[in-house]
Amino acid sequence: MSDTATARRLRFEIFRYNPEDEDSVPHTDVFELEETPFMTLYIALSQIREKQDPGLQFDFACRSAICGSCAMMVNGRPALACRTLTADLPESIQLYPLPTFKLIGDLSVDTGTWFREMAEKTEAWIHERLPFDPDATEERMSDDVAAAIYEGDRCIECGCCVASCGLANVDDTFLAGAGLNRVARFMMDPRDSRSDAEWFDIVAGDQGVFACIGMMACEDVCPKELPLLEVYAYLRRRTLGARFVAKSDRAV
Ligand code: SF4
Ligand code: FES
């Protein structure tokens, strides 16, 4: 937007509901404000809260696409409010909380419980091969393996991929993009002692990678552009390989 251009008047239709208040009824409220250069949805929401409705609930922490707190449905698509420029949206903007997660109020949801349950279910921590030895020399890892692990670790747990997933929307046990990405990160890690057969048990059931019906919205909406489809292919290759080995072992 140039300085000489006439500023747009933006119209926000925002979901409102407080599940803690028995008198609260789900509805939308409409707010209007004048667009300013480089306005993000986070800035617009902050202005609405400061000047029009101090009770409006939404989450944020970093304001720079790092903490993953500000994800919400923006005109029907999951996105980070702090990273979305209003200039990239039409004048009429609908904001809803992410589905799948427990609603705290208005646009604020509890992603933490979902991510904690996913981490416990998949035991998303290193299962060490060797007992801890403070005097041992640090183990070496190839650059390629380290880069692949760090790529998976770029997930900011915003929940956009989960919210965009048709299966996760009807089955809250499905690991979805974030969960499967987390599994792959530990599966790649040479310090983790779990065998492919053990990984098979984690990702092959109804909650895992073979339940994915391939709608691919997860990768489209991921604000960190994680290659989730490559992650699923990796998981399928590794776990199917384990299953074939187990079967051929039994046949011998
Ligand atoms: Fe967000 Fe991407 Fe991580 Fe999913 S994989 S939680 S969309 S950063
Ligand atoms: Fe941290 Fe948007 S406020 S990701």
Around Cβ 58, how many Cβ atoms within 10 Å? 23
- pLDDT value of position 205: 84
Closest to 222 measured CA to CA, from 157, 170, 167, 146: 157
Tokens found for residue 186? 């530990």
* Cα-to-centroid distance, 157 and ligand 1 (Å): 5
Q: Please check whether residue 200 is in contact with residue 242, taking contact to mean a CB–CB distance below 8 angstroms.
A: yes
**Alpha-carbon gap, residue 197 to 240, rounded angstroms:** 9
Q: Does 65 sit in the ligand 2 pocket, CB within 6 Å?
A: yes
Closest to 162 measured CA to CA, from 210, 117, 110, 100: 100
Question: Residues in the chain with pLDDT < 50?
Answer: 2, 250-252
- pLDDT value of position 244: 60
Q: Does 159 sit in the ligand 1 pocket, CB within 6 Å?
A: yes
Question: pLDDT digits over 94-133, tens only?
Answer: 999 999 999 999 999 999 999 999 999 999 999 988 888 8
Ligand 1 atom showing the smallest separation from residue 162 Cα: 4
Q: Does 82 sit in the ligand 2 pocket, CB within 6 Å?
A: yes
- pLDDT value of position 4: 54
